[in-house]
Structure 1
Amino acid sequence: MSLPSRMAVLNYMNSHEAVDVKAVMAALKPLYGNEKQFNEELYMEHFMALEANGLVELDSYELDKDDNLIMNYRINADGRDAVAKYVDKKYSN
């Protein structure tokens, strides 16, 4: 059994500086890649929900070579507290 995907995103962010949705998806693909809801749109919703709940913050944004917006998020102290409180140590990155 693994973490719910939104908590897995937060857990991944706990051990990385600033990340974008593609980096998180690449890291989580071995565990979640076969799920129907494993798509960029849903994972971007995870980032926005985590931000709305005060667990992560927008760190930076830029346009890639194809003019796609890349948004990098960073976990904050409340997010780290949530990981410490709700994520079993066996899932720690």
Structure 2
Amino acid sequence: MYTRAFCLAVLCSLLPACGDALNRLKGDFLKGCLQSSVPDSICRCTWDGIETHYGKETLLRIEQTQQWPEGFMQKSARLMARCQRSESTYSNDE
């Protein structure tokens, strides 16, 4: 369910008008993700996974060139799914 919303959030976060600094990129990603009705914890978890996997240098290059590494959307969607599973597991433990 969140995959479509996530893809829209990623697209929004990578538009040229979104800024050129990593903090701005993160803020725009989180804003787009949250506006897509994805829970805050899942948005933050997904961003953390993206940042860990790709690194700051690659993320800044993506923002500057508007070119995504091969498999970026698929990897990002898998990261979001993992965050969803982790959250549902945590919620079920409470």
Would you call these one fold, judging by a TM-score over 0.5?
no
Q: Which has the higher contact order (CA 8 A, sep 6+)?
A: 1
TM-score under structure 2 length normalisation: 0.39
More strand by share: 1
More helix by share: 2
